[in-house]
């Protein structure tokens, strides 16, 4: 059925802790594409038992090798040479990224087939459309899309590995710091190729040092004082950004974006191809990732619908990989969740209902924001709603095609529309930092494009339902039809009729191209 319910799932912190520990026992090795896999593993297993390994391709062939013990890495590092100094000099930071070369290239590689590489990217939209056409229902089209787009187990492991490599650099200054992924890499809504949001967690430092209860004295550290937490974050990120730039193997294009609302360091990690955003003092975002993880794990329809809506939006340029006045994936996810809360009966609970299920361990107040909700998925009663995704997809477009964006805001905490507190075209209340609008960057023309396309797509699905489709059987249908470029041209035509002179449209377009510094966190890299 459409409402497969998951039971006994791990909590978000349990998954994070397990994967981070696993990443610390893992190394990344650039190796020849043609290599005897058996010999390769035998060579490495001199250093200890190997739990798992796989290969992938990104500017060369890489192997990800997970040892069973951390000590194996020290043993491997002990026998690893420094690179020869030929043209360029090496900065001698010893990481867990290595290069393996064959001693005798001609004899060793000659009769080898290339190793099997795991895919790290999505298929082309044209291929996707073809695949969708061979599904037997719209509902299965949505599941097919999700299967093609979602992060693979290997890709998730690689994301944790990159965090762990950055943690090694941060630990040079802050030995107890951790680097954790957040956002779409871990919230169950990540698509292959999405950016890697990382959180440098320094807060745990010193928190477990218990103050002696007896005796006449107590000691505290002398520390540098700065005017605000924000300044402290900026200083820390500035230093860590420099270290990543100067020491991190394969870390290129390091940009310090310290004046953003949430200061960050952005860079590319070449060996994995990930676009990385490192932030600190951003614990609320980690909680927000956990909330989405819960919603994504409750009912299989949630992720399937979110993936399709995001893909649809990307194909039609509703979202973009350039920061600006576009709707973001995060906003689309919030809109989809809200829509699912509004079904009868609701498919997912409101945030306030999740808060009511919380026990004392779930209580989190972060920087004055109430981030309390139940972490244990098994406490949440499964929905009785049995609607199919065929219905939900059509109704989603219909719902937002007719939503009173001019006066209402979207609020997943209450699961109800509310009056907009200020006149931003699209107002989605941040569920935790409740005075913030998640989609503050969106302008009227971008919202109008979304609405026009949603209406067009609701109409297309209704026509198909009535059997009035103008398309013959060999033509894309259902979700596949909604991903065709012709959908945009129709909605643009109807918009042109409504929206008057060309000069205005050009003005709006230019408006959306203006890059807003304030929103530089809004990054849709690779989507
Ligand atoms: N975030 C937020 N408010 C925003 C933007 C982002 O709270 N206006 C938080 C969310 O927790 C979000 C995370 O920052 O998940 C990362 O932001 P971003 O990378 O923009 O979104 P993702 O959810 O990671 O989606 P993707 O990168 O795939 O577009
Ligand atoms: Mg992201």
Residue range 241-266, pLDDT digits in tens:
999 999 999 999 999 999 999 999 99
Q: Look up residue 506 and give its two tokens.
A: 């050009």
- How many Å lie between the centroid of ligand 2 and the Cα of residue 100? 32
Residue minimizing CA distance to atom 17 of ligand 1: 183
Alpha carbons within 13 A on the beta-carbon side of 137: 11
What is the C-alpha to C-alpha distance for residues 152 and 131, in angstroms, rounded to an integer?
A: 19
User: Whose Cα sits closest to atom 20 in ligand 1?
Assistant: 522
Could you tell me the distance, in angstroms and rounded to a whole number, from the CA of residue 18 to the centre of ligand 2? 21
Ligand 1 close to Cβ of residue 290 (< 6 A) = no
> Which is more confident, 497 or 374?
374
What value does the mean pLDDT of the chain take?
90
Closest to 390 in 3D by CA, of 128, 140, 125 = 140
pLDDT of residue 396: 98
* Chain segment 106-119, per-residue pLDDT in tens: 666 667 888 999 99
- 230 CA to middle of ligand 1, Å? 19
Atom of ligand 1 nearest to the CA of 330: 23
Which tokens in the block code for residue 354? Answer: 């999740």
Whether the predicted interface score ipTM is above 0.95: yes
Q: Which atom of ligand 1 is nearest to the CA of 191?
A: 28
Position 207 scores a pLDDT of 61
Give the mutation target among 155, 183, 440, 516 for probing the ligand 1 site: most ligand atoms within 8 A of CB: 183
Nearest CA to ligand 1 atom 9: 285
* CB distance 197 to ligand 1 below 6 Å: yes
pLDDT band at 89 (very low <50, low <70, confident <90, very high): confident
Both tokens assigned to 521 = 């966190």
Average pLDDT over residues 408-421: 97
Give the confidence band of 218 by pLDDT, cuts at 50, 70, 90.
confident
The pLDDT, as a whole number, for residue 3 is: 46
- Closest residue CA from atom 21 of ligand 1: 330
Q: Considering only 192-206, 212-226, 420-434, 464-478, which range has the smallest mean pLDDT?
A: 464-478
Beta-ladder partners of 42: none
Contacts of 251 (CB under 8 A, 6+ apart): 244, 245, 267, 268, 269, 270
Ligand nearest to the CA of 310: 1
CB 498 within 8 A of CB 420: no
Q: Which residues pair with 66 in a beta bridge?
A: 26, 52
CB 519 near ligand 1, within 6 Å: no
Asked whether the predicted pLDDT for residue 408 surpasses 60, the reply is: yes
Show Cβ contacts of residue 115 under 8 Å, excluding neighbours closer than 6 positions: 33, 34, 35, 37, 55, 61, 63
Q: If we measure between CA atoms, which residue out of 527, 183, 163 comes closest to residue 326?
A: 527
Confidence of residue 120 (pLDDT cuts 50, 70, 90): very high
CB distance 69 to 49 below 8 Å: yes
Please tell me the predicted confidence (pLDDT) of residue 88: 81
pLDDT tens figures, 348-405: 999 999 999 999 999 999 999 999 999 999 999 999 999 999 999 999 999 999 999 9
Q: Quote the pLDDT of residue 521.
A: 38
Separation of CA 278 from chain center:
13
pLDDT of 516 reads: 40
200 lines ligand 1 (CB under 6 A): no
> Is 371's C-beta closer than 6 angstroms to any atom of ligand 1?
no
pLDDT surpasses 80 at 215: yes
DSSP 3-state of 293? helix
Look at residue 496 in the predicted model and tell me its pLDDT.
43
Tokens in use for 511? Answer: 């408006």
C-alpha atoms less than 13 angstroms from C-alpha of 68 in its C-beta half-sphere: 7
The pLDDT tens digits of the residues spanning 267-282 come to 999 999 999 999 998 9
Question: In the predicted model, what is the mean pLDDT of residues 48-71?
Answer: 97
Q: Is the minimum distance from the CB of 327 to ligand 1 under 6 angstroms?
A: no
Ligand 1: which of 156, 180, 182, 197 to mutate, judged by most atoms within 8 Å of the beta carbon? 197
* pLDDT reading at 498 higher than 50: no
What string of H, E and C letters represents the secondary structure of 166-225?
Answer: HHHHHCCCCCCCEEEEEHHHCCCCCECCCCEEEEEECCCCCCCCCCCCCCCCCCCCCCCC
Q: Can you give the pLDDT at residue 488?
A: 76
């Amino acid at each position: 059925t459409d409402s497969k319910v998951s039971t006994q799932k791990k909590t978000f912190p349990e998954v994070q802790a397990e994967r981070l520990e696993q990443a610390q026992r893992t190394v990344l090795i650039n190796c020849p594409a043609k290599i005897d896999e058996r010999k390769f593993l035998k060579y490495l297993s001199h250093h200890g038992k190997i739990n798992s390994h796989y290969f992938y391709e990104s500017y060369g062939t890489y192997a990800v090798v997970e040892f069973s013990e951390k000590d194996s890495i020290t043993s491997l590092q002990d026998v690893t040479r420094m690179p020869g100094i030929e043209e360029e000099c090496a900065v001698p930071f010893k990481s867990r990224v290595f290069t393996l070369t064959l001693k005798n290239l001609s004899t060793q590689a000659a009769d080898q087939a290339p190793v099997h590489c795991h895919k790290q990217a999505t298929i082309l939209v044209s291929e996707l459309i073809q695949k969708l056409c061979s599904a037997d229902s719209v509902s299965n089209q949505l599941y097919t899309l999700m299967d093609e787009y979602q992060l693979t187990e290997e890709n998730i492991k690689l994301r944790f590995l990159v965090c762990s490599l950055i943690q090694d650099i941060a630990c040079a200054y802050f030995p107890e710091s951790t680097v954790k992924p957040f956002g779409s890499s871990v919230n169950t809504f990540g698509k292959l190729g999405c950016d890697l949001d990382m959180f440098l967690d320094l807060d745990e430092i010193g928190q477990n040092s218990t103050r002696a209860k007896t005796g006449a004295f107590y000691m505290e550290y002398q520390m540098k004082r700065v005017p605000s937490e924000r300044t402290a974050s900026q200083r820390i990120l500035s230093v860590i950004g420099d270290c990543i730039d100067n020491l991190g193997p394969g870390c290129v294009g390091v940009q310090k974006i310290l004046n953003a609302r949430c200061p960050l360091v952005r860079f590319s990690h070449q060996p994995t191809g990930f676009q990385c955003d490192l932030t600190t003092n951003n614990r609320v975002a980690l909680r927000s990732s956990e909330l989405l993880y819960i919603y994504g794990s409750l009912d299989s329809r949630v992720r399937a619908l979110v993936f399709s809506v995001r893909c649809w939006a990307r194909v039609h340029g509703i979202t973009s990989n350039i920061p600006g006045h576009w709707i973001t994936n995060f906003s689309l996810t919030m809109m989809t969740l809200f829509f699912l809360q509004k079904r009868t009966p609701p498919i997912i609970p409101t945030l306030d209902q999740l808060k009511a299920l919380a026990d004392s361990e779930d209580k989190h107040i972060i920087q004055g924001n109430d981030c309390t909700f139940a972490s244990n998925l098994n406490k949440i009663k499964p929905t009785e709603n049995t609607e199919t995704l065929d219905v939900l997809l059509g109704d989603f477009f219909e719902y937002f095609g007719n939503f009173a964006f001019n006066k209402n805001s979207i609020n997943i905490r209450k699961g109800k529309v509310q009056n907009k507190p200020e006149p931003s075209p699209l107002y989605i209340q941040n569920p935790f930092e409740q005075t913030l609008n998640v989609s503050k960057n969106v302008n009227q023309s971008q919202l109008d494009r979304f609405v026009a396309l949603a209406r067009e797509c609701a109409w297309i699905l209704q026509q198909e339902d009535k059997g009035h489709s103008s398309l013959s059987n060999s033509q894309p249908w259902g979700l596949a039809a909604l991903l065709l470029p012709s959908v945009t041209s129709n909605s643009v035509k109807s918009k042109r009729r409504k929206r008057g002179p060309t000069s205005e449209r050009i003005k709006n377009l230019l408006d959306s191209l203006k890059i807003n510094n304030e929103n530089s966190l809004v990054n849709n890299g690779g989507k």
